[in-house]
A and B are shown apart, each in its own frame.
Chain A
Amino acid sequence: MSETDTQPRQDSGTEQSLTTQGESTERIDPSWRDYDFAGEAKLAVEDLNVHYGDDHALKDVSMEIPEESVTALIGPSGCGKSTFLRCLNRMNDRVKSASIDGSVRLDGEEIYQDGTDLVELRKQVGMVFQAPNPFPKSIRDNISYGPRKHGDIDTGLLARLTGRDDTDEEAALVERALRQAALWDEVSDRLDDNALGLSGGQQQRLCIARCLAVDPEVILMDEPASALDPIATSKIEDLIEELAEEYTVVVVTHNMQQAARISDQTAVFLTGGRLVEYDDTEKIFENPESQRVEDYISGKFG
């Protein structure tokens, strides 16, 4: 025990110095780069760098995310995992000081290029935020908001006059999304109530349903359960596992138990904006390659 206690400290010391020296592009632990997952890659990220002003938030991150699975991003605060997540649907474009270079391909198609249709991209890559943020509208309107704005559903006066009334389609869509988000049974009798009247956990599932309503292929979740109590959290976790059968889910979390419970593969970001290790979740939690990752996971630092 005492041996393993001293060993990592030395190791992490050398690693630390490596990263602080290392504005170099030298890779820390190259072995996991050959991480070979079963199935197709949905998202492929290559040499992604993000700067917020002078702050180099994300350094040379490369990874491939397999489809129809849950990928967890873990790491201490400020390690760049949320930044990484927000790059996957270009939400970082909304931050004025952010500059992004590198490559992100969705189904082989580069999303960081001129002519990317942000509307189409974000329809395919949906996002759920840390704090539940339903619109101050009815539950129904929250769900149908996206499809309505994209012109997939129209129940307006003009639509009715011209003979196109999507009321039935809307009802079907709302029910489908709410069922997928495991919320239907709780709210089916009050779809016209304001969404702000729901509990925190219900609101978060509503946000997931709202995201599902536009039929995404990838769902990005930024600590979706961190503002919720344990019961609501376990509901969200069950939901994430179910969603992975149909969707590609990428979830940022602070909670390592959560990552271990729900994810198929885990990427560990450590301070400095580097991706340190990326592998099957089991491997990461039981036998990581990097000493620093082991220290982090066993709670010795971070």
Chain B
Amino acid sequence: MAGATETSVVRENTSTYEAIAALTVGLAAVLFFLGLAATVEIVSITGSLAGLPTLTALGLLLVVMGVAVGGFGLLSYRGLFPTDPDVSVGIVAAALFSALWALLGFLVGAEALGLGLAGGVVGGLLIGAVAFATTAFPREDVGSTLPAAALAVFFGLVFLLGVVGTEWSWSPANFPDSQSVTFFARSVAPFAVMLSSLVVGWAAAKAYGGFGARGRHLGAYLLVYLNAVAIISILVALVAFVVFKGIGPVAEGVEVGLGVGPATTVSLFGFSYDVVWPVYWPFLMNGASLFTDITGVFPAIVGTAWLVIGAVVLAVPLGVGAAVFLTEYAERGRFTAIVEVATNALWSTPSIVFGLFGAAFLVPRFTPQPQKSLLAGMITLGFMLLPLVVITAREAMIAVPDEYRDASAALGVSKWQTIRSVVLPAAMPGVVTGVILGVGRIAGETAPLLLTMGGGSFVGAGQRAKVLDSFQLSLSPPFVTNPELTQATTALPYQLYQVVLTGTGETAGVTDITAFGWGTALVLLAVVLAFYAVGIATRQYFRSKLSYE
């Protein structure tokens, strides 16, 4: 009953106790990341860890942690540790623990012991009830540590005793088709490790804080922190995986030096000039051809770049214009509410619907015969981008303080001039943020391009979209024409899909089609990130004009 007598603000004699508790929390975090690493196979389940087979090592750590945390609870209950526990851990934790244990009881009863569905249900209910009682009824220090400790010890023993070994697998018999689902040790074990280390870590963090309000705060902090770190690790792992798989084909045959690169003829409206690149990067600079040593994705990069540029040029003025009308001119009411709902709905419309619209409405309109074209792709993606630009531009403009508008009006400045010189500049960073988000989505969009832009899975460098070179002036309407815009071309996500789908590239001189696909994926990632970088730099520019240091 240490907690009852302890009333001082500064808790005394806590150093040893806190050191051990902190060590346990740290161990739980280490175990959590080991589990995470095992999930993405950085740590091999079949290999070894610190001299022991991985599963044995993990099991040992779990048991040690379980015993430590359970010991904390009991010693605290006996009053040997200076803690300050509440009366009970609470109904939420009790419900979660009983649900967890009931599930385990069901699985063990029904599957491991072979008692069938009825046995499983009885076992589950029984163990769930015990877990609930253990959690809810004793004092907080026992209630939060014992069920968690038992979980860790249970999983630890399962691994230590070899119940779940490296070759273990389980196909639930109760599924209609018994072969349809199979769990392997390599996916179950890391998950069990992560789950139990989270639970034990939570209990240990509570113990570290001496239970009570401070303990609850630390327990929640640990869970939130581990979750955040896990999410970031997953993201990093994803990008790292793509880079790892794709860097080989992308970096193949890169040369740097004067005159090694291809010559580019820059020509616009009849003027032309030859530029020889000082770098030769085959994957980025070549198209598909049997005559080049390495097949590249140059036409697809060009296609994606033009698509994004076209969509942005179409969507940003329209979207910002609509947002100006909605925020500055239209009366707030039914009409603006409907427009708001409609733009939100449009933003969540599946991309294939936009694609079908483009195929039915745009594709037949630009050429004598219906033909998929770069222009149709640009406009379709522009339509997809439009609602997000409207939404974010509107929010950015609403966020501009009315004081600016009042100040401007009081100087006798008209509404439109106020919008142009005060409201829009102040809203610009928000608008750019919206465009960045939207570009991230449309640059990777595949479905609409299938239906509107087409192209081939391997495109020669000569067939890239030469938009800038192809403007032609004439004296009769429409005065400026550009045949490239009405041609089908290719884009990175579309090409990636085609390459993976067809799975063969001999005709284009590609031997390892999977590597080529990963390379394309890496380039796509880089192109999207490059657009992000441009967007963020633009936003920073507008922000710096508004703020002071």
**Residues of chain A at the chain B interface (Cβ within 8 Å):** 89, 91, 94, 96, 118-123, 126-127, 129, 131, 133-137, 145-146, 149-150, 193-197, 207, 210-211, 214
Contact = CB atoms under 8 A, between A and B. Distances in A.
A119 B418 CA distance: 12
Interface string B323-347: 0000000010000000000000000
B409 interface: yes
Contact of A129 (B407, B412, B545, B548): B407
Given A133-B403, A196-B547, A121 B412 contact: yes
B411 A194 contact: no
Interface string B407-429: 11111111001000110011000
13 contacts: A91-B409, A119-B412, A119-B414, A120-B412, A122-B411, A126-B411, A134-B407, A135-B404, A135-B408, A196-B547, A196-B548, A211-B410, A214-B412
Contacts of A134: 407
Nearest to B401: A133
Interface of B: 331, 401, 403-404, 406-414, 417, 421-422, 425-426, 545-549
Contact of B411 (A94, A120, A146): A146
**Secondary structure at chain B's binding surface: helix, strand, loop or mixed?**
helix
Nearest to B426: A136
A146 B422 CA distance: 12
A293 to B, nearest CB: 30
B327 to A, nearest CB: 15
Contacts, number: 76
Contacts of A96: 331
Given A194-B547, A196-B548, A94 B409 contact: yes
B406 A91 contact: yes
A149 B421 contact: yes
Contacts of B331: 96
B407 A214 contact: no
Contact of A193 (B407, B412, B548): B548
A12 B264 CA distance: 91
B413 A89 contact: no
A199 B546 CA distance: 16
4 tightest A-B CB contacts, nearest first: A197-B548, A122-B412, A194-B548, A133-B403
A285 to B, nearest CB: 30
Given A145-B413, A214-B412, A136 B407 contact: no
B379 to A, nearest CB: 33
B412 to A, nearest CB: 4
Nearest to A96: B331
B406 A129 contact: yes
Given A136-B426, A196-B547, A122 B403 contact: no
Nearest to B543: A136
A193 B414 CA distance: 26
Contacts of A121: 412
A195 B425 CA distance: 15
Contacts of B545: 136-137
A290 to B, nearest CB: 33
A211 B548 CA distance: 22
Nearest to A197: B548
Nearest to A123: B412
A127 B409 CA distance: 9
A207 B195 CA distance: 60
Most chain A Cβ neighbours within 10 Å, of B409, B410, B425, B426: B410
A129 to B, nearest CB: 6
Contact of A118 (B401, B412, B547, B549): B412
